[in-house]
Amino acid sequence: MRIVGQVLGWVLILAAVAVIGADVLAALDSGQFMPRPAGQLWFQLDVGSLNLLQAVVQRYLHPSIWDPGIVSVLLLPAFVVLAVPGVLLALLCRPRADRRKPLFY
């Protein structure tokens, strides 16, 4: 299970690097750095799943969970939304040192 968390963490980190790379390339083209919000990235990738999530949260859970809860996360820069859980997963799921080994040989 630990290996799955570690791989997922690194995939999220690589996705964050790709997103910030695309944002930097867009900034070089336009002359101003505007990081893409997570909601915009999700909308560009798959609008149907974003709409489905909104409908499920508002109908079956509670409308206030969607706005301001999830909406505030979707307004954050996409690279942050990808990098933070990626780094946490990579750190929490890293292999631990075997404590039974002596420090000095």
* Cβ-contact 36, 77 below 8 angstroms: yes
- What does the pLDDT profile of the chain (105 residues) look like in tens digits? 788 999 999 999 999 999 999 999 999 999 999 999 999 999 999 999 999 999 999 999 999 999 999 999 999 999 999 999 999 999 998 887 655 666 566
Domain of residue 9: give its range: 1-34+79-94
β-pair partners for 37: 77
pTM here?
0.82
DSSP conformation class of 101: S
Residues 24 and 1 in one domain: yes
Residues 30 and 54 in one domain: no
Helix extents (H) in 46-101: 47-56, 63-64, 71-74, 78-92
Coil, helix or strand at residue 7: helix
Q: Give the count of domains, the chain.
A: 2
